[in-house]
Amino acid sequence: MTDNLQPVAAPAPQRTTGDLTKAAVSGWLGTAMEFMDFQLYSLAAAIVFNKIFFPDVSPAIGLIAAMATYGVGYVARLAGAVYFGRMGDRIGRKRVLFLTIALMGVSTTLIGALPTYQTIGIAAPILLVALRLVQGFGAGAEIAGATVMLAEYAPVRRRGLIASLVSLGTNSGTLAASGLWAVLISVLSEQQLLSWGWRLPFLLSFVLLIFAVWVRTRLKESPVFEERPDVVDGVALSRSEIEASEIEAKGTLEEGLRQRKGKAFFLALGLRFGQAGNSGLVQTFLVGYIATTLLVNKSIPTSAIVYGSLLGFVTVPVVGMLGDRFGRRPVYAALSVLTIVLAFPLMLLITSGSTPALVLGMVIALNIGVLGLFSLESVTMAELFGSRNRFTQLAVAKEIGGILATAIGPVVAATLTATTGHWWPVAAMLIVYSLITLVSTVLAPETRGRDLVRLEDAA
């Protein structure tokens, strides 16, 4: 970069309805694939991995070990968030999203080809963890990139609704994975499921990978990234390059460079806690707990996740529209308070011994405490951050929240319920997670309608 660089201001990039549609399909597919991969894994961890990869321990210890293996992927996700997030802020969103989806898809397919503990002993869980780490590394920036891309494409007055498609993608992936497992559990004997049936969902995910990669080759770059004043010839200038050049809108650039970082990041992290923690408890831990501790047929909790995910196709866009109409903060607060108030009643339903009550409790918990919050999270976190570091900060906030809540939560819940012999720690954890999000909501600024080209954070 030379000292006399003086790029000419270009008109704001225009995107057609067709471009927005491609971005929406791309974001939906990528997040669907990410959450299908992770839900396939989490359900396998809860239902079969403790038997085929950790067979020489008690059921309770096997469940804890399987949940811990599920959790290690979140460490790799954080590394991927930092690596790919910085790349996405530097060279653009499109190229990074192509790389992340390829890593996720290949590693997930290979899990379906793994030998078991009975075949190669301790090497089997080691290989499982290795593939889980690769899968996590790619996934660490996938949902953040899809969220940023959709938010930056969306018309400002419909940003919440359009960005909620990311949440619909996660819902679609969860539904597909849960549906596959529900079918397998229903039609296969336990011996068939443990010998070869568990492999089918992982191997079939390769078909979705091919389609998702094809869609992303046809996607245009984010218009916000191209409009940023620090982007020249498709690459963002570094701090030293900005300081050495004389660019129009220099004041805007300097403001973005001077701003102290931190407040918006911690607010986003707090907003993430409720959805992330509740997701790990409802969609992962409770499935295993109901099957192994309450001794309920494992098809019942998986079917409940399917029903809840189907209802989510209504919940998610409605919450997105409410956020556009009334603002992010009041809707966030309402969902958090509802989860706190309903935590113990819902767990009473789930553990009542009645199948309809169990299904109803899980469906309500999934839609209020997980999918509803996720719909808002998709747009609010994108709006909190300035465009210069949006991809990185959003990805890292999501993944640190994932490690602290989604990954560690099921392990803590498994340990506490095994120690106490009761379900009340799960309800208490739902309350704590949601309370953290409620406090963050009160402290955060209202971000609805914010100009996403601005380089500085909203807080």
Q: At what angle do helices 59-91 and 390-401 cross, to 10 degrees?
A: 170
- Other C-beta atoms closer than 10 Å to the C-beta of 226 total 17
Q: How far apart are CA 443 and CA 459, in angstroms?
A: 10
Average of pLDDT values for 384-404? 90
Listed residue (339, 337, 345, 336) closest to 424, CA to CA = 345
Residues 6 or more apart whose CB falls under 8 angstroms from that of 330 comprise none
Residues 6 or more apart whose CB falls under 8 angstroms from that of 392 comprise 81, 82, 85, 86, 88, 89
Q: Which DSSP string do the residues of 196-211 spell out, in sequence order?
A: IITHHHHHHHHHHHHH
Tokens of 332: 């966030």
- Per-position b or e across 44-57, b if 16+ CB within 10 A of its CB: bbbbbbbbbbbeee
At residue 261, does pLDDT exceed 70? no
Q: How far apart are CA 111 and CA 60, in angstroms?
A: 24
Which domains are delineated in the chain? 18-224+260-443 (1.20.1250.20)
pLDDT tens string 83-129: 999 999 998 888 898 888 888 888 888 988 888 777 887 777 778 88
Give me the pLDDT at residue 333, please: 96
Give me the pLDDT at residue 8, please: 42
- Other C-beta atoms closer than 10 Å to the C-beta of 234 total 12
Average of pLDDT values for 282-307? 82
Alpha-carbon distances of 325 from 231, 429, 448, rounded to whole Å: 33, 31, 9
Give me the pLDDT at residue 395, please: 92
> Is residue 107 a contact partner of residue 129, using CB atoms and an 8 Å limit?
no
Listed residue (66, 10, 77) closest to 249, CA to CA = 10
Of residues 450 and 47, the one with the higher pLDDT is: 450
Give me the pLDDT at residue 74, please: 72
Give me the pLDDT at residue 77, please: 85
Q: At what angle do helices 263-279 and 373-384 cross, to 10 degrees?
A: 160
pLDDT tens string 74-85: 778 889 999 999
Alpha-carbon distances of 52 from 180, 200, 296, 442, rounded to whole Å: 19, 15, 20, 46
Alpha-carbon distances of 246 from 3, 7, 235, rounded to whole Å: 7, 9, 17
Q: Which residue's entry shows tokens 């080691």?
A: 126
3-state secondary structure 234-269: CEECCHHHHHHCCCCCHHHHHHHHHCCCCHHHHHHH
Surface-to-core class of residue 3, CB atoms within 10 Å of its CB (0-12 exposed, 13-18 middle, 19+ buried): exposed
Listed residue (219, 86, 69) closest to 152, CA to CA = 219
- Other C-beta atoms closer than 10 Å to the C-beta of 446 total 13
At residue 278, does pLDDT exceed 90? yes
Q: Which residue's entry shows tokens 């002993």?
A: 121
At residue 156, does pLDDT exceed 80? yes
Listed residue (1, 455, 20) closest to 220, CA to CA = 20
> Is residue 345 a contact partner of residue 257, using CB atoms and an 8 Å limit?
no
Give me the pLDDT at residue 259, please: 56
**Which pLDDT band, with edges at 50, 70 and 90, does 28 fall under?**
confident
User: DSSP E strands: which ranges in 290-399?
Assistant: none
Predicted TM-score (pTM) of the model is 0.81
What rounded mean pLDDT belongs to the chain? 83
At residue 4, does pLDDT exceed 70? no
> Is residue 207 a contact partner of residue 35, using CB atoms and an 8 Å limit?
no
Give me the pLDDT at residue 260, please: 56
Average of pLDDT values for 390-406? 89
pLDDT tens string 296-355: 777 788 788 889 989 999 999 999 999 999 999 999 999 999 999 999 999 999 988 888
Give me the pLDDT at residue 68, please: 64
At residue 14, does pLDDT exceed 80? no
Angle at Cα 312 formed by Cα 309 and Cα 318, nearest 5°?
A: 175
Q: What DSSP designation does 454 have?
A: -
